[in-house]
Amino acid sequence: MTPLRTLPAWFVCLLAALCVGAAPAPADRPNVLVMMADDLANEDLSCYGSRRIQTPRLDALAEQGVRLTGYYAGNPVCSPSRMALLSGSYPARLGWRWGVLGYGFAPKTGMSPRVYTIAEAFRDAGYRTAMAGKWHLGAQGMLPEKQGFESAYYIRMSNNQNRDMFRDGGLVQEKWDNRLLTQTFAEEAIRVINENSDKPFFLYLPWSAPHFPADPHPDWHGKSGTNRSGKYTDVVEELDYRVGQILDALDQAGKADNTIVVFTSDNGRQSGQQGEEEDPPFSGQKWQSLEGGTRVPCIVRYPGKVAAGQTSEALISALDLYPTLAHACGVDIKLPERAQRIDGVNVWGTLAGHFYKHPRTELLYWHGKGPATAIRVGEWKLMFNAGDENPKDPPLADGPALYHLKDDPKEQHNLADRHPERVEAMLQRAKELLTDVYTDQLPIGTWPGTESPEPPLKAEDVWGPWIK
């Protein structure tokens, strides 16, 4: 057999492109179900090693597809993380400065209406698009029904911030019961799955659980017994059950084999929620750009296309879901002239197990309070700017910190002094990428008739002292 390195470069590129897989014909397009939990960490799922929480339905889902161990949410806090998934862009490219809607985001702002969302791309390709869950990306012209979702049943903010439920922009319930939200959103998802339609569906289900406050459903309250994390465990185990109900509905509707299912989380653990943890796999938490802030579970199932029982360590970001799912479904992304730049890459070949070079080799990190803080290149991560407000990233008084993540996932051993050339190369690459992001960005979205509250940041505004 001829080694690949001896073949002409153009032939290798052609082979790689073919191995990614041809897009399906319109009549064969699969349904898509994207579920995103809120503040769920790796150590909260038994298929990722939890010994305190039992998640049998998600464990089974992982056995039926691919379990990603190098997957990153789009940001360590929820609003920008959602922006990243729906846009395929770094949140900073969409004008995000820091924080979440209701804390840090200026009033009457959100994700820009100029963003051409994944829902709009699928809608324009002939899919029926639906959403059920937590929006948290703005009101007025920035609501889900304005951003490509033909059917939208949602709470506008986090479950600790408001008590109103909306359907397609209209108020349908005041003072909902937080204990029943997971059940309510599951029922809506099942309704969408069971709709009689000739069109395939794209269903986005951003759960409000297990975000604080942890209020278990009456049927789950106390079910975990003496588990040290108490109510939180009850909430996660109910979430697992509701995911199972939705997967059962796909089976009963005869749609399971032709549906791509994605389950992930918007960021890592929330301090004080989980209770004691024996040995979390990563350092850090929500808000931080340490691994525990954004490295989260992600499971992908597509029978017959994604091999069952696989685990992938490939570097993959929530940014990549947009172009990847579009490719898998034969959706041509036709960005309008004034829309966002997409930072995501198509990783379908990796998910499907094809022989080709994985396209993502690097990723930028931001702290939830705004600073760009780190870059990952391959298995190496360089922290070049510490978050300056609680919860803090590690102080970097003596210079950047370099970690080899495969050997040191908890980021405890700074190897910068041993690899000065690597540090310099990664600093320069971070500067190039950040310059690109901050010189080609959309302004933050605002309510109609409202002035933008602040000018977009520039690259030099977020560089650390050593990247300059």
Q: How far apart are CA 221 and CA 212, in angstroms?
A: 15
* Ramachandran bin of 51, using left for φ above 0, alpha for ψ from -120 to 50, beta for the remaining angles: alpha
Which of the listed residues 329, 351, 373 is the one where a domain comes to its end? 351
Q: How far apart are CA 177 and CA 54, in angstroms?
A: 25
Asked if residue 333 is part of any domain, the answer here is yes
Interval 393-419 mean pLDDT: 92
SS3 152: strand
Q: What is the pLDDT of residue 417?
A: 95
Summary mean pLDDT of the chain: 90
The model's confidence at residue 68, banded by pLDDT at 50, 70 and 90, is very high
Q: Within this chain, do residues 257 and 194 fall inside the same structural domain, yes or no?
A: yes
Q: What is the pLDDT of residue 11?
A: 39
Structure tokens at 243: 């995911």
The model's confidence at residue 298, banded by pLDDT at 50, 70 and 90, is very high
Taking 70 as the threshold, does the pLDDT of residue 383 lie above it?
yes
Q: Within this chain, do residues 65 and 204 fall inside the same structural domain, yes or no?
A: yes
Q: What are phi and psi of 161, to 5 degrees?
A: -115, -25
Q: What is the pLDDT of residues 184-230, one digit of tens each?
A: 999 999 999 999 999 999 999 999 999 888 888 889 888 876 555 68
- Could you tell me which residues come within 8 angstroms of residue 128 by beta carbon, excluding any fewer than 6 positions away? 150, 151, 195, 197, 199, 200, 201, 202
Q: Within this chain, do residues 381 and 326 fall inside the same structural domain, yes or no?
A: no
Q: Does pTM surpass 0.85? A: yes
Contact 42, 266 (CB under 8 A): no
Q: Within this chain, do residues 305 and 387 fall inside the same structural domain, yes or no?
A: no
Which of the listed residues 351, 370, 387 is the one where a domain comes to its end? 351
Q: What are phi and psi of 429, to 5 degrees?
A: -70, -40
Task: Report DSSP letters for 201-258, one per residue.
Answer: EEEEEE--TTSSS----TTTTTTTTT-TTTHHHHHHHHHHHHHHHHHHHHHHTT-GGG
Q: Within this chain, do residues 232 and 374 fall inside the same structural domain, yes or no?
A: no
Interval 122-145 mean pLDDT: 96
The model's confidence at residue 259, banded by pLDDT at 50, 70 and 90, is very high
Q: Within this chain, do residues 233 and 321 fall inside the same structural domain, yes or no?
A: yes
Q: Residue 384: give its domain's CATH number.
A: 3.30.1120.10
Q: How far apart are CA 18 and CA 206, in angstroms?
A: 33
Asked if residue 8 is part of any domain, the answer here is no
* CA separation, residue 216 to residues 39, 219, 427 (Å): 16, 8, 46
Interval 424-438 mean pLDDT: 96
Residue with tokens 């034969």: 330
Q: What is the pLDDT of residue 228?
A: 53
Q: Which residue has the higher pLDDT, 337 or 276?
A: 337
Q: How far apart are CA 289 and CA 285, in angstroms?
A: 8
Q: What is the pLDDT of residue 13?
A: 44
Q: Is 418 exposed, middle or buried (0-12, 13-18, 19+ CB in 10 A)?
A: exposed
Nearest to 209 by CA among 41, 39, 82: 39
Q: What is the pLDDT of residue 446?
A: 93
Asked if residue 409 is part of any domain, the answer here is yes
Q: Which residue has the higher pLDDT, 9 or 434?
A: 434
Q: How far apart are CA 224 and CA 233, in angstroms?
A: 6
Q: What is the pLDDT of residue 3?
A: 36
Taking 60 as the threshold, does the pLDDT of residue 1 lie above it?
no
- Provide the number of structural domains found in the chain: 2
Q: Residue 326: give its domain's CATH number.
A: 3.40.720.10
The model's confidence at residue 15, banded by pLDDT at 50, 70 and 90, is very low
Q: Within this chain, do residues 385 and 305 fall inside the same structural domain, yes or no?
A: no
Burial annotation 103-141 (CB, 10 A radius, 16+ → b, else e) = ebbeebbbbbbbbbbbbbbbbebebbbbbbbbbbbbbbe
Q: What is the pLDDT of residue 135?
A: 96
Percent of the chain with pLDDT over 70: 91
Taking 90 as the threshold, does the pLDDT of residue 76 lie above it?
yes
Task: Report DSSP letters for 325-358, one per residue.
Answer: HHHHTT------TTSPPP-----HHHHTT-SS--
Structure tokens at 49: 């090693």
Q: Within this chain, do residues 333 and 431 fall inside the same structural domain, yes or no?
A: no
Q: Which residues pair with 109 in a beta bridge?
A: 446
Taking 70 as the threshold, does the pLDDT of residue 250 lie above it?
yes
Taking 90 as the threshold, does the pLDDT of residue 126 lie above it?
yes
Asked if residue 133 is part of any domain, the answer here is yes
Q: Which residues pair with 174 in a beta bridge?
A: 164
Taking 50 as the threshold, does the pLDDT of residue 10 lie above it?
no
Helix, strand, coil percentages (3-state) for the chain, rounded to 5, are: 30, 20, 50
The model's confidence at residue 130, banded by pLDDT at 50, 70 and 90, is very high
Q: How far apart are CA 314 and CA 335, in angstroms?
A: 27
Asked if residue 4 is part of any domain, the answer here is no
Q: Within this chain, do residues 269 and 404 fall inside the same structural domain, yes or no?
A: no
* CA separation, residue 386 to residues 258, 273, 408, 433 (Å): 45, 24, 19, 18
Which of the listed residues 351, 370, 394 is the one where a domain comes to its end? 351
Low-confidence winner among 76-90, 99-113, 263-277, 344-358 (lowest mean pLDDT): 263-277
Q: What is the pLDDT of residue 163?
A: 83
Q: Within this chain, do residues 295 and 368 fall inside the same structural domain, yes or no?
A: no
Asked if residue 21 is part of any domain, the answer here is no
Q: How far apart are CA 72 and CA 315, in angstroms?
A: 8
Q: What is the pLDDT of residue 27?
A: 59
Q: Within this chain, do residues 308 and 171 fall inside the same structural domain, yes or no?
A: yes
- Could you tell me which residues come within 8 angstroms of residue 406 by beta carbon, excluding any fewer than 6 positions away? 379
Give residue 237's domain range. Answer: 27-351
- Could you tell me which residues come within 8 angstroms of residue 373 by beta carbon, excluding any fewer than 6 positions away? 289, 365, 366, 367, 383, 384, 385, 386, 387, 393, 464
The model's confidence at residue 8, banded by pLDDT at 50, 70 and 90, is very low
Q: Within this chain, do residues 122 and 214 fall inside the same structural domain, yes or no?
A: yes
Asked if residue 16 is part of any domain, the answer here is no
Contact 400, 382 (CB under 8 A): yes
Sign of CA dihedral 205, 268, 369, 375: negative
Asked if residue 9 is part of any domain, the answer here is no
Low-confidence winner among 111-120, 213-222, 254-263 (lowest mean pLDDT): 213-222
Interval 140-144 mean pLDDT: 94
Taking 80 as the threshold, does the pLDDT of residue 314 lie above it?
yes
